[in-house]
Amino acid sequence: MERLLITGAGGSLGRVCRDRLTHLARVIRVSDLSDLGPAAPHEEVVACDLSDKSGVEALVAGCDGIVHLGGQSVEAPWDVVRDANIEGVVNLYEAARKASVAPRIAFASSNHAIGFYNQSQRLDANAPTRPDSLYGVSKVFGEALASMYHDKFGIETALIRIGSCFPEPRTHRMLSTWLSHDDFVRLLERIFTVRRLGCPVIYGASDNSSSWWDNREVAYIGWRPEDNAEVFRERLDAEIAPPGPRDAEALYQGGRFCSDGIHED
């Protein structure tokens, strides 16, 4: 690629991408609301609020790839979710539609789009959504918007329902949802090099023994996660108490998001 845009580049996943996707494009354009520090020689740093329509248009122009990590990444009051994840995503896709070259997009969706499924249920890409929060609903919106821009305008998006992307699993639930940084980077490599992407739903989780999700339908992407949260089980057992059997953390795929109430302003 000529230019890869990383939104939300100041967040934890954004920093991973900024560091490790440099081989995917000649120029890496990084963006966030927060300070991103100085640009490296191969970088462009662009501050942008995703709810600013014309700002996003400028941000996207000239990029043939986008890793969209920006926006709100956990539950929040409705206004916050809406501005970042509804308005912001509309702005992003409108900008992509208007760009001279349509960029390919890796969209950070979330397991919270299907969070109310039971942990004993096996899901593939065709499972109807069951969001667990306003945040989860906003991710369903983003997936639907991307689907429409694909069917109507040919813009390709990988809808990555990220589980829990951290250096290591932090809770017992993450033994099922963990996505290692290495596997995430390998997934993004595949997304930007596969000849035809389409608009697939991909569960963003490593090859965890206790998996709930089945990526068989998208094997054509060629992504084979290599890590497994299981190697951290003993340490987790030693360090933290597991959830009680009736806690949302033990019942639902979305964990505590399912028991949290609406965040009032």
The set of catalytic residues is 135
Q: How open is the CA angle 217-219-224, to the nearest 5 degrees?
A: 130
Asked if 116 touches a copy of itself (CB under 8 A), the answer is yes
| 184 makes contact with a copy of itself (CB under 8 A) | no
Q: How far is the CB of 160 from a copy of itself (least distance, A)?
A: 16
Binding flag, residue 195, a copy of itself (CB under 8 A): yes
Name which of 243, 229, 237 is nearest 168 in CA terms. Answer: 229
Q: What's the closest the beta carbon of residue 251 comes to a copy of itself, in angstroms?
A: 7
Please state, in angstroms and rounded to a whole number, the distance separating the CA atoms of residues 158 and 153: 15
Measured CA to CA in angstroms, residue 234 lies from 181, 222, 241, 255 at distances of 21, 31, 12, 21
Q: Does 175 bind a copy of itself (CB under 8 A)?
A: yes
Is there binding between residue 86 and a copy of itself (CB under 8 A)?
yes
Kindly tell me which of 90 and 185 has the beta carbon lying closer to a copy of itself: 90
Q: How many residues bind a copy of itself (CB under 8 A)?
A: 62
CA 70 distance to own-chain centroid: 9
Q: What does the DSSP assignment read for 47-78?
A: E--TT-HHHHHHHHTT-SEEEE--S--S---H
d(C-alpha 57, C-alpha 50), whole Å? 10
Nearest CB to a copy of itself, comparing residues 97 and 170? 97
Say which DSSP state 115 is in. T
145 near a copy of itself, rule: CB under 8 A: yes
- Residue list 18-77, contact with a copy of itself (CB under 8 A): none
Tell me the C-alpha distance between 97 and 94, whole Å: 5
Query: Which of 9, 93 has the CB closer to a copy of itself?
Result: 93
Among residues 209, 231, 235, 240, the one that binds a copy of itself under rule CB under 8 A? 209
Report the phi/psi class of residue 19: left, alpha or beta, with left for phi > 0 and alpha for psi in -120 to 50. Answer: alpha
Q: Where on the chain is the footprint of a copy of itself (CB under 8 A)?
A: 78, 82, 86-87, 90, 94, 97, 116, 119-122, 125-126, 128-134, 136-137, 140-141, 144-145, 147-148, 151-152, 172, 175-176, 194-196, 198, 200-201, 209-212, 214, 216-224, 230, 242-243, 245, 250-251, 258, 262
